[in-house]
Amino acid sequence: MTKLEPQEQQEAWLKAVELAGGKVPTGRIVKDVVQRIMERTKVPNTYQLEEVCQILAKDNPELRGKGGCWGIVSQVNEFSCTVKTWDGEYTVGLQHLKSYNYLPAECEQMQVICDRINRVYSSGLEESVQKFLEMLGKLNRSYLTTLEEKLLSVLELEIRD
């Protein structure tokens, strides 16, 4: 409810109590009412294709394990974006995204890194390798270090053989 203006918070609470039959509403009821109010206010989606964003998983169990991961916008919707990450694609609400404000060249570089990580990850290598790739998917920079680059190259050679 904190995402709403004070008068909208009151409206949301009253509507949630009404939907709960006059009792204290469940978290799910409150979340649904808040979502409807947010959609009604129509915050414009300013994200662009190929923009690099961080996933903010707070208050969203569907994004468990994705908090802090970076993703590349592959589709812009009215109230969400589809982002490509190290392990697949996810549709994420605007309130769960934060742009890194990278330059176009950095976004292109991240797209290449994402494709490489995703190709290795989807090959099904050992759990320890997948954990390494997951950590690369949470980096807060637009490049790999020399050592990270070498390790990823070795893994790419491994899946080709």
Q: What is the pLDDT of residue 43?
A: 65
Give dist(CA 30, CA 128) in Å, integer. 40
Q: What is the pLDDT of residue 107?
A: 96
Distances (CA, A) of 128 to 83, 116, 131, 153: 24, 17, 5, 16
Q: What is the pLDDT of residue 137?
A: 95
Please give the angle made by the CA atoms of 43, 34 and 87, to the nearest 5 degrees.
Answer: 70
Q: What is the pLDDT of residue 36?
A: 79
Q: Which residues of the chain have pLDDT under 70?
A: 41-43
